[in-house]
């Protein structure tokens, strides 16, 4: 069975303040999703003997995890520290906002220099003015400021992985944006298995028609068995 995850917005919070404060978070914490989250427990509690983050880092993580937009991306920010994600591949860099936030989420349990981010995007070759995004130099300048190890691969999913898949082994997290060319993506599945390990997570975004525009994009967890099946299908076609 395919796991479909549509993040829920928190609609009963008091008005969001201009300056995020710990008091505001604690006052509204009862409205957050009731889920077992050891990462959140560690951030909220100052238990003696447990590793804790500085207050500003804890507040930033809480904002990303439960208050940031788009809503669906909150799942990714909570997952990264929980699964100790260090190697990230993203198809579709867009504005770079999600990339920066994913690197920030990973930096909560390690140093930014240990985080490896690879972004695959058409950049200047995008061509379609209705698909906003960064130029290659702009993306590189923006993401290098995070101090993570940044690698940007111009091209569509298939052409980029055909060149670089072997160098992306042991990737922990793959994010596939909803705007990727379906034909190129279908061919790119052939290369995914060689990039992954048994604990890798692959999430594919897709557009969903819902009333709330903040929930218009959902994230689908693609099981490893399905990825191997898609790759095998492409291999048979090539043969």
CATH for 204: 3.40.50.150
**Is it the case that residue 236 has pLDDT exceeding 90?**
no
Helices (H), the chain: 22-28, 38-44, 55-66, 74-82, 97-106, 136-144, 157-164, 182-188, 224-238
Q: Do the domain assignments include residue 61?
A: yes
Res 59: pLDDT? 82
* Strand ranges across the sheet with 116-121: 3-5, 217-221, 196-207, 171-176, 87-91, 116-121, 149-154
The pLDDT tens digits of the residues spanning 197-220 come to 999 999 999 876 555 554 568 999
Count of domains forming the chain: 1
Tokens, residue 143: 């993401």
Mean pLDDT computed over 181-205: 97
In whole angstroms, what is the distance from residue 82 CA to residue 105 CA? 10
DSSP, res 123:
G
Res 14: pLDDT? 41
Neighbours of 224 (CB within 10 A): 16
Q: Do the domain assignments include residue 146?
A: yes
**Is it the case that residue 7 has pLDDT exceeding 50?**
no
Full residue range of the structural domain in which residue 73 is found: 51-238
Q: Do the domain assignments include residue 40?
A: no
Q: Do the domain assignments include residue 231?
A: yes
The pLDDT tens digits of the residues spanning 126-147 come to 877 767 789 999 999 999 999 9
Q: Do the domain assignments include residue 98?
A: yes
**Is it the case that residue 72 has pLDDT exceeding 50?**
yes
Q: Do the domain assignments include residue 35?
A: no
**Is it the case that residue 21 has pLDDT exceeding 60?**
no
Q: Do the domain assignments include residue 153?
A: yes
Res 209: pLDDT? 59
| pLDDT classification of 222: cutoffs 50, 70, 90 | very high
């Amino acid at each position: 069975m395919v796991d479909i995850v549509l993040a829920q917005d928190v609609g009963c919070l008091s008005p969001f303040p201009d300056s995020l404060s710990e008091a505001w978070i604690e006052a509204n914490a009862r409205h957050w999703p009731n889920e077992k989250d050891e990462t959140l427990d560690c951030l909220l509690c100052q238990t003696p003997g447990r590793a804790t983050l500085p207050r500003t880092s804890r507040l930033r993580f809480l904002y990303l995890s439960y208050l940031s937009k788009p809503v669906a991306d909150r799942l990714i920010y909570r997952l990264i520290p929980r699964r100790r994600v260090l190697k990230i591949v993203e198809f579709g860099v867009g504005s770079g906002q999600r990339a920066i936030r994913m690197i920030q989420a990973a930096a909560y349990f390690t140093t930014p220099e240990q985080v490896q981010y690879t972004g695959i995007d058409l950049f200047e070759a995008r061509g379609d003015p209705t698909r906003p995004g960064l130029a290659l130099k702009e993306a590189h300048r923006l993401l290098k400021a995070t101090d993570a190890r940044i690698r940007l691969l111009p091209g569509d999913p298939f052409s980029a992985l055909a060149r670089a898949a072997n160098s992306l082994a042991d990737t922990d997290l793959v994010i596939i944006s909803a705007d990727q060319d379906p034909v190129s993506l279908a061919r790119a599945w052939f290369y995914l298995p060689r990039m992954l390990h048994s604990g890798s997570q692959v999430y594919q975004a897709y557009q969903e028609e819902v009333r709330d525009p903040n929930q218009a994009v959902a994230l689908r967890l693609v099981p490893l068995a399905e990825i191997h099946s898609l790759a095998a299908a492409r291999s048979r076609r090539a043969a």
